[in-house]
Amino acid sequence: MDLRNGLRPLGSTPAEFEQDLLSNLYYRRGTTVESASAQDAYETLALTVRDRLAARRARTAAAQYDSNPRWVYYLSAEYLLGPQLDQNLLYSGTTDLAPAALKALGFDPAEVAALDVEPGLGNGGLGRLAACLLDSLATMDIPAVGYGIRYDLGIFKQSFENGEQVEKPDDWAFQGDPWEFPAPDDRNRVGFYGHVGPEGWVPGEVIDGEPSHLLVPGYGTETVNFIRLWRARATEASFDLSRFSAGQYAEAVDQAVRAENISKVLYPDDSTESGRELRLKQQYFLVSCSLRDIIRRFRFRNHDWAEFPAKAVIQLNDTHPTLAIPELMRLLVDEEGLDWDQAWSIVRQTFAYTCHTLLPEALETWPVAMLGRLLPRHLEIIYRINDGLLGEVRSRFPGDLDRVRRMSLIQEEPERRVRMANLAVTGTFAVNGVAELHSQLLTATTFHDFATMWPDRFRNVTNGVSPRRFVRLANPGLSSLITSGLGTDAWLRDLSLLAGLAPLAGDSAFRAQWRTEKRRAKAALGLGDPGALLDVMIKRFHEYKRQQLKLLHIITLYHRLKSDPGRFGVPRTVLFGGKAAPAYTAAKSIIHLINAVAATIAADPVTSGQLRVVFPPNYNVTLAEKIIPAADLSEQISMAGKEASGTGNMKLALNGAITIGTLDGANVEIRDRVGGENFFLFGLDATGAAALRGSSYQPRSYYDSDPELKAALDAVLAGAFGGVGHDVAQSLLDRDEYLTLADYRSYVDAQDEVSAAWQDQERWTRMSILNAANSGFFSSDRTVADYLDRIWRATPVRP
C-alpha cells in the first residue's frame, strides 16, 4: 500500500490485469463484455494501462514536490507523439499481459490495437524531436513539463488523386482521446487586442485556455512526467443570448467560434513562413497559458521572484514561443510590480532558445502593425528591449550604423516587422543549433553579429532520437537480436553500448541473422521482392531536401534499364514518404511527378522486378515505424548548408540502413562515427555550395554537358511521364535554387557504388551492422544529457 497517496497497488498478474480491464469496462466505459465494441475494448484497455502510469505519476509528483527542484519547461507549438498504445504498454510492462487479457475476454487484440490513432500535433522533425526529448527527460528522471497546443485538427491526412496530393482534415480525437486527463479547473484567461491606458493593458477580447495532460513515462524507471496541452474555449460572455433569442443563430455564436478557432488547426507549414494573424494568436495563446501555469507551479513552494531562474528553465523550441519573453516581462513588471531591470535579469536567466533552421525564409517576422494591434503592450515592451539592445550595440561598435540596422529587433524595409529570432537571441542566456555544422553556420552567418557581441551565448546540442520508439518498438526483431548479441538489454537506456556490436560484424552467423531481420521487416511492409535493395527517402517535401534529385536518378536508372536490360545490376525498390505544405506549389509538383514516374515504370514490362517506385500516402510516425526497420539505403541528399540536422537519418542508421548523403546537418557526425567506408558521400559541401550559389550558377551548363542528365530532363519536358512535371524540369533548368543539377553526376556515381556494394551481401551486412553499432551517440538520452550539461543544469529526482 502506498500510504502517502492511499493507493491500492495495481495488479501485475494476468488475472489481476483481466480483473482491472473488466472493472474499467463496467464502471468507466459503462458497458459489458457482451455488448462491447472493439472501440469499447480499445478505450478500456487504454484506461487500464493509463491507470498504471497514473499511479507512477502520483509517486513522481510527490517526489518532485518534496525536492522543489529546478524544472525544465519545454515550450513547443508542435509535438509529433506517434501512437500511444504500444509505447504505454511497453513502458508499463504490460506488453504481454494486455493481449492475453483481451483474448480472455473475447476480443481480437490486433483489431483493438488498430484503433489507436496517432495524435498528429506536429509537422515533421521539430515536433518529433520535442517528443523524443520528453521521452528521454522522463527516462532520465528529470522533472520536466512539455507545454503545447491541443489542436482539434492535426497535420492533414494526405491522399493522392491522379497522383496529386489532396489534403483532408485530421479529426484525430473525434472519438475522444482516452490517454488524456482534462483539467478544466486549471483554465487561464488570455487577452488580445484592446489598448494600453494609464491602468495598463485593457484587452478587447478574452478567451480561456483549458489544459489537458498526457502522461509521459520514462523507460526502465518509475518516473512519469507529462505534457500539458491548451485548448481554446470561448468565455460565457461570448455567447450572445439576445441575438440567439432574436433568431440570429450564426451571429449569436460568431464570437465564440472565432475564439475557439485559435486551437482549431495545426498550421501545416514546415520550415516555411505563413504569416497569418491566427498563427500569431496561437503563439501568444500557448505562451500566455503556459507561463501562468509555470508561475502557479513556482508559487507552490517559492515566494521570492529572485529565485525563479533557480526553479525554472524554459526552453523555446524555435521562435514559435518567443512571445514568452515580452509576456514574462509584462507579468513581472505590470502585474508583479518588479522594476524593469530586475525583471529583465530574471527573464534573461530563465529562457534558452533552440534554432532549427538555416533557411532565411523560415525565420519568423511579424508586421509591427499586426503585432501592435493584437498585443499593444507587448509591442511597447519589445521596443523597450530593443532600446536596450541597440544601446549596447552602439556602445560596443560606435558609429557602425549598418550593424545597428542588422541587429535591431525591428526590420524597417520593405515593411516594419518584428524579428522574432533576434528577440529570442536577445532575451535568452543560451542559443543552440541542432548539429555541429548547423551551430557553426549559425554563428558564422545567421547570428554572426550576435555571436560577435555575445560569444558565450552560443552552443551546440546535436539532436537525437528515442531508441525505445525507433528501435525497440519499431523493430522488435532487430531489438531481440541486439539484446542477444550484447547479452543485455541495457542498451535501451545507454545506447553507447551498441558499440559492442562492432566485433559481431565479423561473425558470419550474426550477419546472417541480421539479414534475416531486415528481410522480415521488408516482408512485413509488403513490398514484394525482399531481395531488392530498399532505397528510402522519407521526410517532408521541400526543394532544399531535393526529392527532385532522387527523381532524376530514378529516371536515369529507368533509361539505362530500357537501353540495356541485361546490364542493369541490382533490383531496387525506391520508397518515398512525406507531405508537402498545402500552399507549396513546387513541392506538390514534385509529388505529382514522382507518382507519374512510378506509374510509367510500373506499366513498362521492361522494368518488371528490377525497378519499382512506391509512394504510400500519409507518411506519419506510425508508417515511419514500419518503413525504417525495412530500409537498406537512407537518402539524406539536401543541398549542403540547408538541413539543420535531420533526425530520420539517425533513425535509419540505428536500424542498419546505410546513408547516401551530402555533408549536411547531422550527416557529418553520422559519417564521422560510422566511418567514411560505411557511408556513401557525394556532392558539394556547404562552402562549395555557398560559393557556387554566390557566383553566376548556370544549371544549363550541367544539362548541356551530361548526356544522362539531359536525357532525364528531356524525357520530363517531352511529357514521357503522362505529361506531368514540365514545371519541375523547367524550374531546374532556369533557376535550380538548390543546385540539383550541379550535384547530379556525383550523386549518380555514388549510387553506382551503392549498387556495387549491394552485390556483395556479406560486405553490405557488415556495413549495416557497423552503422547501428556506431550510432549510439544519436540517442536523445545523450541529447538531453548535453542540454543538462550545457544549458539546463537540472538534476534527477527519483520517485
- What residues are annotated to the active site? 356, 539-540, 545, 647, 651
Asked if 646 is part of the footprint of ligand C3B (rule: CB under 6 A), the reply reads yes
Of the pair 97, 418, the CB lying nearest ligand C3B is at 418
3-class secondary-structure state, position 605: helix
Yes or no: say if 114 and 149 are a contact pair by the CB < 8 Å rule: no
Between CA 47 and CA 176 the distance in angstroms is: 12
Residue 186 corresponds to which cell in the numbers above?
486549471
Asked if 271 is part of the footprint of ligand C3B (rule: CB under 6 A), the reply reads yes
Yes or no: say if 457 and 373 are a contact pair by the CB < 8 Å rule: no
In 130-239, beta strands by DSSP E: 144-149, 157-161, 164-168, 180-182, 188-192, 195-197, 200-202, 205-217, 224-233
Asked if 356 is part of the footprint of ligand C3B (rule: CB under 6 A), the reply reads yes
List the one residue out of 547, 470, 628 whose CA is nearest residue 135: 470
* CA 231 to mean position of chain CA atoms: 20
Asked if 126 is part of the footprint of ligand C3B (rule: CB under 6 A), the reply reads yes
Q: In angstroms, what is the minimal distance from the CB of 419 to ligand C3B? A: 16
Work out which of 83, 124, 154, 571 binds ligand C3B, going by CB under 6 A: 124
Asked if 645 is part of the footprint of ligand C3B (rule: CB under 6 A), the reply reads yes
Q: In angstroms, what is the minimal distance from the CB of 390 to ligand C3B? A: 28
Asked if 651 is part of the footprint of ligand C3B (rule: CB under 6 A), the reply reads no
**At residue 682, what is the residue type?**
F
Asked if 92 is part of the footprint of ligand C3B (rule: CB under 6 A), the reply reads no
Of the pair 463, 513, the CB lying nearest ligand C3B is at 463
Near ligand C3B in 615-644, by CB under 6 A: 643-644
Q: In angstroms, what is the minimal distance from the CB of 476 to ligand C3B? A: 26
- DSSP code string of 709-768: HHHHHHHHHTTTTTT--HHHHHHHHHT-TT-HHHHHHHHHHHHHHHHHHHHSHHHHHHHH
- DSSP letter, residue 173: T
Contacts (Cβ under 8 Å, ≥6 apart) of 660 = 633, 634, 635, 636, 637, 680, 682, 747, 750, 751, 754
Q: In angstroms, what is the minimal distance from the CB of 138 to ligand C3B? A: 19
Helix runs in 564-696, H state only: 585-603, 621-630, 648-654, 667-674, 686-694
Near ligand C3B in 395-434, by CB under 6 A: 434
Between CA 799 and CA 797 the distance in angstroms is: 7
Of the pair 24, 422, the CB lying nearest ligand C3B is at 422
Yes or no: say if 467 and 491 are a contact pair by the CB < 8 Å rule: yes
Yes or no: say if 571 and 532 are a contact pair by the CB < 8 Å rule: yes
Work out which of 665, 683, 699, 725 binds ligand C3B, going by CB under 6 A: 665
Residue nearest to ligand C3B (CB): 125
Of the pair 40, 270, the CB lying nearest ligand C3B is at 270
Choose one: 180-188, 354-362, 568-576, 672-680; the region binding ligand C3B (CB under 6 A): 354-362
Asked if 232 is part of the footprint of ligand C3B (rule: CB under 6 A), the reply reads no
Dihedrals phi, psi of 558, to nearest 5 degrees: -60, -45
Q: Long-range CB contacts (< 8 A, 24+ apart) of 617-620?
A: 617/158, 617/159, 617/160, 618/157, 618/158, 618/159, 618/579, 619/158, 619/538, 619/577, 619/578, 619/579, 620/118, 620/120, 620/155
Of the pair 124, 163, the CB lying nearest ligand C3B is at 124
> Residues binding ligand C3B: what is the number (CB under 6 A)?
19
Of the pair 170, 208, the CB lying nearest ligand C3B is at 170
Of the pair 600, 647, the CB lying nearest ligand C3B is at 647
Yes or no: say if 457 and 428 are a contact pair by the CB < 8 Å rule: yes
Yes or no: say if 499 and 537 are a contact pair by the CB < 8 Å rule: no
Ramachandran class of 641: left when φ > 0, alpha when ψ lies in -120 to 50, beta otherwise: left
Choose one: 118-126, 596-604, 728-736, 761-769; the region binding ligand C3B (CB under 6 A): 118-126
3-class secondary-structure state, position 536: strand
Asked if 130 is part of the footprint of ligand C3B (rule: CB under 6 A), the reply reads no
Of the pair 326, 665, the CB lying nearest ligand C3B is at 665
Choose one: 412-420, 482-490, 555-563, 645-653; the region binding ligand C3B (CB under 6 A): 645-653
Asked if 647 is part of the footprint of ligand C3B (rule: CB under 6 A), the reply reads yes
Near ligand C3B in 742-781, by CB under 6 A: none
Yes or no: say if 122 and 175 are a contact pair by the CB < 8 Å rule: no
Of the pair 357, 595, the CB lying nearest ligand C3B is at 357
Asked if 663 is part of the footprint of ligand C3B (rule: CB under 6 A), the reply reads no
Work out which of 25, 129, 425, 481 binds ligand C3B, going by CB under 6 A: 129
List the one residue out of 322, 296, 451, 431 whose CA is nearest residue 381: 322
Asked if 94 is part of the footprint of ligand C3B (rule: CB under 6 A), the reply reads no
Asked if 136 is part of the footprint of ligand C3B (rule: CB under 6 A), the reply reads no
Interaction mask 48-67, ligand C3B, x per CB under 6 A = --------------------
Dihedrals phi, psi of 64, to nearest 5 degrees: -70, -40
Work out which of 120, 125, 629, 776 binds ligand C3B, going by CB under 6 A: 125
Q: In angstroms, what is the minimal distance from the CB of 433 to ligand C3B? A: 9
Choose one: 120-128, 292-300, 372-380, 392-400; the region binding ligand C3B (CB under 6 A): 120-128
Q: In angstroms, what is the minimal distance from the CB of 537 to ligand C3B? A: 15
Contacts (Cβ under 8 Å, ≥6 apart) of 643 = 358, 544, 545, 636, 664, 665, 667
Of the pair 268, 776, the CB lying nearest ligand C3B is at 268
CA end-to-end span of the chain, whole Å? 15
3-class secondary-structure state, position 598: helix
Choose one: 83-91, 124-132, 412-420, 447-455; the region binding ligand C3B (CB under 6 A): 124-132
Near ligand C3B in 447-506, by CB under 6 A: 463
Yes or no: say if 110 and 191 are a contact pair by the CB < 8 Å rule: no
Of the pair 80, 215, the CB lying nearest ligand C3B is at 80
Q: In angstroms, what is the minimal distance from the CB of 439 to ligand C3B? A: 11
Q: In angstroms, what is the minimal distance from the CB of 132 to ligand C3B? A: 9
Q: In angstroms, what is the minimal distance from the CB of 645 to ligand C3B? A: 4
Work out which of 86, 270, 635, 669 binds ligand C3B, going by CB under 6 A: 270
Asked if 357 is part of the footprint of ligand C3B (rule: CB under 6 A), the reply reads yes
Q: In angstroms, what is the minimal distance from the CB of 767 to ligand C3B? A: 24
Of the pair 469, 612, the CB lying nearest ligand C3B is at 469
List the one residue out of 768, 764, 774, 778 whose CA is nearest residue 673: 774
List the one residue out of 729, 699, 703, 711 whose CA is nearest residue 593: 729
Yes or no: say if 346 and 309 are a contact pair by the CB < 8 Å rule: yes
Helices (H) then strands (E): counts for the chain: 33, 25
Q: In angstroms, what is the minimal distance from the CB of 57 to ligand C3B? A: 28
Question: Footprint of ligand C3B on this chain (CB under 6 A)?
Answer: 123-126, 129, 270-271, 318, 356-357, 362, 434, 463, 643-647, 665
